[in-house]
Amino acid sequence: MSRRPLIAGNWKMHTTAQEAQQLAAAVVQAAAKAADRDVMIAPPFTALAAVSKTLSGSGVILGAQNVHWETQGAFTGEISGAMLQDLGCKMAIIGHSERRQVFGETDAMINSRIGGALQSGLVPVFCIGETLEQRDADQTLQVLENQVRAGLAGVELTDGAGLVVAYEPVWAIGTGKTATEMQAQEVHGFIRGLLGDIFEKNIAADMRILYGGSVKPENIDILMRQEDIDGALVGGAALNAKSFERIICFQ
Ligand code: PEP
């Protein structure tokens, strides 16, 4: 079993190309202080080309915030995996709760996007998570199982490094509320078991499962000490160079 930690920053709809390059340069410096882990940043599409240049030769991974399943065609407003590859992207966030809730993306669309990403050689960062209502109704594990099974239907993998899962409880995203390390570990353990059911056991054992939801310098260390938490998907705190550096340098 070898799971290299992954700290990923989702910049959402923030930064111009110039601002993105400045922040990316700071991330490059921070990542150089922690060479035993992977760091990924996902700027807006409009900044990918500029940030790709900043990251060149640094080892920091360039990610996109979404990807379409076709390589080209009449899909206004969408971006294909081939286009992202062309800019140097290696990963793509798929199924973020904002895409599901604000833009109505369904499990079927997310499943197609995952297929498209894999076909074009991008590693999907597949996001799942329950709402507060669902957690309060004790539906968390069922909701997650449904999302995982639907999102990964028909997906074939030869190794665990080919896909990353991000558990992001919707009630913890951008709210300042974080799942406790015990709540997060319980869910991560459950997800790993489920992945072992869908794929080979060794693939599930090698697959990285990130936690996301108000990750910050104050809570990263305890989260990363949990057995099945292999990294973090960070929103707000990834926009602040100092905070993100501290998260990258978790102990
Ligand atoms: C996210 O959007 O993926 C996220 C986890 O945001 P935040 O860290 O701001 O809660």
**Is the CB of 178 within 6 Å of ligand 1?**
no
In the reported structure, the alpha carbon of residue 74 is separated from the centroid of ligand 1 by a whole-number distance in angstroms of 31
Q: For the residues 17-44, what does the mean pLDDT come to?
A: 98
**Tens of pLDDT along 192-243?**
999 999 999 999 999 999 999 999 999 999 999 999 999 999 999 999 999 9
Asked if residues 155 and 189 have their Cβ atoms less than 8 Å apart, the reply is no
Tell if the pTM clears 0.85, that is, is over it. Answer: yes
Question: Is pLDDT of 10 > 70?
Answer: yes
Q: Is 63 in the pocket of ligand 1 (CB under 6 A)?
A: no
Confidence (pLDDT) at 1: 52
CB atoms within 10 A of CB 67: 26
Ligand 1 atom 7: the closest Cα is on which residue? 235
Which residue's CA is the closest to the ligand 1 atom numbered 4? 235
Mutate to test the pocket of ligand 1, among 178, 234, 247 (most ligand atoms within 8 A of CB): 234
Please give the mean pLDDT across all residues of the chain: 97
Length of the chain: 251
Tokens describing residue 229:
């938490």
Mean pLDDT of 21-48: 98
233 lines ligand 1 (CB under 6 A): yes
Q: What is the pLDDT of residues 151-186, one digit of tens each?
A: 999 999 999 999 999 999 999 988 888 889 999 999
**Are 160 and 203 a contacting pair, CB within 8 Å?**
yes
Judge whether residue 95 has pLDDT over 80. yes
Map tokens 């930690």 to a residue. Answer: 5
Residue 2: predicted pLDDT? 79
Phi, psi of 223 (to 5 degrees): -65, -45
Q: What is the pLDDT of residue 219?
A: 96
Q: Is the pLDDT of residue 52 over 80?
A: yes
Convert the pLDDT of each residue in 103-140 to its tens digit. 999 999 999 999 999 999 999 999 999 999 999 999 99
pLDDT at 80 over 80: yes
Predicted pLDDT at 116: 98
Q: Which of 96, 98, 105, 130 is the catalytic position?
A: 96
Amino acid identity, position 19: E
